[in-house]
Amino acid sequence: MTDARVMRDRQASVASAARRLDDASGQHSGAALVQTKAVGAYPAAASAYYACTPLRIDGPETEGAAVTFTGDPSRIIMALNLGSRIPPVGTRLIIHSSGGRWAFRYDG
């Protein structure tokens, strides 16, 4: 294999990983706040991918202030549960990017 071919393959791999890193804010953070949702059949096993809606935290940034969560229900992020329990539909989670995929741990 030529050096040019190796470099093209590496560049394609990096570009592919970068495309998968799209997060809720579009700023490519390593973490995102989401809420699980049912899209079709909700997973019946803990170790599975879950459909999630990205959330935004709204409200005044003062101690004791009320917080509201807003999101775009049309956006879906698939995240792998590394925990031992099935999160109920509507569970808020913090997901982390790992190798271009999203993951979280839910142990109930």
User: What is the pLDDT, as a whole number, of residue 24?
Assistant: 43
pTM above threshold 0.75: no
Confidence check: pLDDT of 26 > 90? no
Q: What is the pLDDT of residues 8-20, one digit of tens each?
A: 777 777 666 555 5
- Please report the pLDDT score of residue 17 as a whole number: 59
Write a three-state SS string for the chain: CCHHHHHHHHHHHHHHHHHHCCCCCCCCCCEEEEEECCCCCCCCCCCCEEEEEEEEEECCCCCCCCCEEEECCCCCEEEEECCCCCCCCCCEEEEEEECCEEEECCCC
